[in-house]
Structure 1
């Protein structure tokens, strides 16, 4: 049959490709991303696209099978997909498994994202690991993981152990000669391990260093602490400890060599460390801190330096005067405890918390309360509760401050309160943001700083220049005890007379940049390294920018100054990555949104200065003027690169922006004269902009293409593609697509906001009938101009043939049959009546 011939043709191609690879580089494995269902269901590899992936796997036409497992979203579902009768892979690939070829599972991460079940990744991975013939995983796709910044989390949890590829032995099964391993004790917490390859080796290969708590090597279970690919020359690796590790015995080390077929040698002779010191646990931080004043309904949060014995805190926690502990909740790593009380603390009362020597880590070492290196002394913290709270929250600070302060049209409003407010009373729909008689949607970001709430506001759309903006709350904002504000939030400010003609994102801090820890740079000095960190967070970000959950992130720089040092600087450097490839000239202003902590420390941008050939100038780096962080909450910080007065002092000898172009080096933080010794700031939306003075160009509403009525069957989702046009704006306005249904029987989800983006319509099981689907596209320029269309979706019962679906986009299909003699059919779809020209070329 034609189907057999097509399937044979694909198999011949795969077979020939494998032969070609084996001839040139036999250590290169050929794999195929096959459809997730081999030969069962309507959409399958064998019958739908003529992939005989099981045959290829069994006969050795591929070395690794990597199905795209998009149809399953639970651990049990993946188990059934792997081996549960003929509607699973297991029965069809027994020979390939027996021969030793590699099989890896391909979960559809983008499906888990779309269905809001991203947290099922560990469940799926652990379920698949119950099958001994599953060698690993590939996730579809990188973009989904990047959006969630999931690499670090996965690497610290269900993928926390280093690993190596399993050698199949099918092409070459001769292991290389084993290397030797030497150990040098640098100090009690650092050991240098030197691997020396066998003298018989002349080509590059892999080397693995294993670590074990016993004196025998087991390459299947022992931890791999380093894996290295390189020439057959000696190399060294330092195994370092902090003293806060849980293990305090000896470690045994061994090294192996692995060739490019992943055949592994025998282990080297074992090298042995001394017993490792494991320090007593200390309290790294507490909330409240010493001397704080807190609301009566606050929790106590204690963070320890080590993994704790969670049963000992209740035995060693004393509170004076007595308060009743309702619960103690521990973080997954057993290092942070949240203590809750019921009833709450008493108003206007001084309290003292004491942790005595009964509080221990998992090695039964008592806490070192004062951090002097000796265990057994107590940790104490004194705090006070607020007086009887019968009044609502009061605004302590506000930006902009007066009607006369001209605010940049892209800046963020900040409102600081004298206590924590109830987040349930901050409702976007109840915040009025008005200008010229028009009300636009605002994005609120509520955070807590020093036990007080900070509310940042920014609309998704642009606001006009040189205009009065009124902000007011339509509802009553309350504190956490339900006391309402006596004076409602209602103020007016004026915008600056300049608009943006260009905006270019350098880094949105969702993971594209390879930012390093503060200690990475040699210029960093005067910090406590263990308490100074760079990372990403999804709970605090600059409002008004991200429409999708995956983009709602920012980065943080956590700092702790070493008071014994004479100089204090953090140079948070970014290694070569997409943000560093952007060439910058002095026609731009560089901007970043910074969440300040009011610490009076100094913030700055750092740029490499380059010649036309890409090499550094003699100045190497130029920086802007240092900005004191005298605000709390989000604020726009900028450096006009063309303004000679805004060049600051760092490395440059002449402080002139006379380079051919510039590239991003990083962000700087310097200790101020009178400032906080430790804290955390956040950064978001690092970008390049250009501005112009005067009124912004007129904005125009988008034009949304009409959409025809369509039909589907019960519980069968369909896709639509809203298409619109809009006049180009100088600053590149974004758009927002909103799709709603007039019935809960049809769910909608928008997968993008550009013209032609996919929107899913999902009729729910049990719903049959008619739904009105409304599509809105908003131009996020001045005025939030929009266009709307609607259509009827008819949902028919299962088992009935729906009416012919009208196409929703232009489509040209593959001809069928192909090859053909003497005729073939070419199908096409167009979304509306139009003239069509079809051209066939030889």
Structure 2
């Protein structure tokens, strides 16, 4: 591991380049496991003059890479005696940081550094075991972060570790005020000029010496099975004289670099080199891929090159067939060309050609046919897909998923973003089950086309069981008109309540119901409409399938968007429905077939009967028509309160129904239609739920007639 090798190199340097008597090291191989106690106890027992602990740091942030020195400190801020670690650290932090060429956290007393701990406060310090339990001056170094990938790959190099050892050696000399010998070292990194990636296998020639940067075969196979994963591009020479050297750096696939470098006498001479690749540019990625047969006609094309390209030569060599107008956008330092066509035809074959005259910014001609030499056209062929390439999506479900206290006779409404089919598959693609035993619920499934979207409404024939979970399932396979199929099954669940309903029908919208209702234009309150697009009629096809309806009320509307106020009032003028009275303890309900327009619907009532007058008109809150198909719209008058109209906002005394009302939401659909059926007042009442009788005791009786009965009965 790194710190052991640095320590061994430092021991070698001190023993062979100084007159130090003895250098001790706590371990000499990777198989030894030495505790902190053993390390400090050994230093104390041999009477060492100094103790240094070499470390490599770690962080959850892989971008972090810094040096750090920690010396022994007492809780009062003073250095731990015998002193010296603080001064030594001040030299080491500067030299180590300069040599590693990375940022630094600095030199710290360990109590000041570990402020999150109260150890120093309770013990008096130092914080670190190796500083606290040594009898001589000491410090601990962190030589960068091995969790930083580039740093980790550098420290795999043996010469790099020896270079680090020299940094510690020079710090020790400086502490003892000993002149540093002539250094005579040169090192650096060889990287790709364009990608800035280190180059493996680069050869550096210097003064008759040669160095080859690490490769997968020489080193990295010890750490990875991926030949392209690891690289450091590092080189290092030692033993150079005070001179100017010619440095020649070469690598396969690159132009060589030659420079004259003066060796400095007091530190490492760093000479980093960026080599320029001599490979011709190629296309490394395309969108669409070659031969794509379903490329969306509305998408942009992308051509990714291996090198920065000469924009003029590339754009001048483009050929689109069939011809189409387009715009070109460049990104990633001229490596990515985005082609934005004005329009591509649906289900059309296209080819895009880049002629072999295209060049990169260095003058290399493109290798369009990728045979390894410059030249050859690049040709991309593809076919556009149909106008719609996305499968249908379920936008909403009624009742919503995991709903609670759902009515016992609900309409299950699955709403799609487009028309689904074929009709032969629709019915078999839906299933409503009782979750407890997975039994099917009998009912009728009706498919509605609502302004280009599908609503599948399921009408159960009977009440569901109270307080039970039911699951609606839509199976894969339903398609849109372009044969884009739903790829997966969809499931949604709801839980029924344990209440049933006492229903008072106001108007079931059956035969001749229109005799009791005014058309929208008959009310003086109606305003802001387009008259010939606004009407109320009976409809015999769009009906609520729960209760045997034969027709519903159809309300068509068109809004004059130049108006500033919009209201349609469909007024209940007479007949038996007008005789139904109620108070605010009731819930008003109507089955409303929505058009998904985003416009608004509400109820209006007359209160304070038998008094009459405009001041006695009250309304429900608005309900946004954001659904398609059937939905039960409920106004719990006691809970939901009222909306704003011409009354006082209070529901007083005896009431009767006044009107259905609609209004325009600015920016939403100008035209549309809704259907209303089975309009009613309800009361809820609790259902009794049978519970199991649990025993109060258990008795174990003897076998009888014994001994002929081999079993025991538990009663």
| TM-score (ref. length: structure 1) | 0.34
**Which one has more relative contact order, counting CA pairs under 8 Å at least 6 apart?**
2
Task: Pick the structure with greater CA Rg.
Answer: 2
